[in-house]
Amino acid sequence: MSIVVVGMSHKTAPLSIREKICFSSDDLNSFQELRKIEGVEEGLILSTCNRVEICAVTKDSEQAKKNISNFMKDYHECGHLDFSSYLYCHEGKEAIHHTFRVASSLDSLVVGESQILGQVKEAYRTSHEAQALGPRLHRFFNRAFFVAKRVRTETAIGSQPISVGSVAVQLCQKIFKELANKNILLIGAGEMVETILEHLIQKKIHSFYIANRSEESVLQLEARFKHHDILVHYVPFQELDQWLFKMDVVLASTSSPQFILTRPLMEKAIGQRMQQPIFCIDISVPRNIDPGVHDIDNIYLYNIDDLQSIVQENIKHREQEALKAEQIVQEEVDKLYEKMRHRNTWQSARA
């Protein structure tokens, strides 16, 4: 038995490619299909805004890697596209090292960010619910969680939290030195919007517009921050056209597979604003804002890949802690791999 990882990330593929093969954690069928892939004994799908990858246990690594690659394309009806130049394929010790680094946020767009571990755990739970996991991947990912905990406990890599959400807020501040007098629209009410809201509140901003399909989700989000005395205006999706022209900043993060803000909608809004600029940041995968919006005069659109340069500025102070974290990961990789090699069986490689 061997372990393989096949996927693509922000390091190997642009957003326009990654969004074509992203999986939704709500789509149990995709996770259930893993066990039907020839050569795959156990499997797990990790799909975030920055990566899409499948980890599997197999008896035939070459067959599994090929079939997993085909599954990623065929499931999303992209069989006609050649993604080979964007994919990475890891096997054995290399796959262990990769997974431990991912769980420990060493392979993230924002090194040291805390969200990835929760996303890996969510992928673990969903794959378990879909009965795609077996005993080997159960033990393997529990070991990955242990390694991530060691990195958090024994290094200061996350001492000054940086996330994609915080970087998005930093970008807003670069555009507008003063945000308190700007109308800010958040699209979505999930974890990423919650992170953005938290960072905006830290900037002394207390009034927001939040657009979402469900008002209940917005009310729950507002309740989590009630001690900050914030004022939230709920905007139903079907009423966006009545509010967009009032907005200076729009930040979008939902799981919608379709554009929420289309080019005609934004052209109408900018016309109503008498060409006063609108700054949009779309950190959704797939994207929530039509990329063509960028071509409209006085609308400035940034996506998650555009945040890279700001991220690089922010992580310089973490480099020393990242080196310590890499040492912990390598130590744990060597320990697990040696145990597997010595016993020559995944079944005995207990975490």
**Residue 63 Cα distances to 23, 36, 346, angstroms:** 22, 13, 19
Phi-psi region of 350 (alpha: psi -120 to 50; beta: other; left: phi over 0): beta
Enter the tokens of residue 51: 């990566």
Question: Could you give the residue ranges of the DSSP H alpha helices within the chain?
Answer: 15-18, 28-32, 61-75, 93-103, 115-129, 135-154, 164-175, 191-202, 215-224, 263-272, 308-314, 319-343
**Residue 59 Cα distances to 29, 62, 139, 194, angstroms:** 24, 9, 18, 42
Exactly one of 22, 49, 55, 172 is catalytic; name it.
49
Phi-psi region of 71 (alpha: psi -120 to 50; beta: other; left: phi over 0): alpha
Enter the tokens of residue 23: 């999986």
> Is 172 one of the catalytic residues?
no
State how far the Cα of 7 lies from the Cα of 258, in Å rounded to an integer: 23
Q: How does DSSP classify residue 107?
A: S
Question: Do the beta carbons of residue 145 and residue 117 sit within 8 Å?
Answer: yes
- DSSP codes, 170-190: HHHHHH-S--TTS-EEEE--S
State how far the Cα of 222 lies from the Cα of 220, in Å rounded to an integer: 5
Residue 316, Cβ neighbours under 10 Å: how many?
8
Tell me which residues are annotated as active site: 49
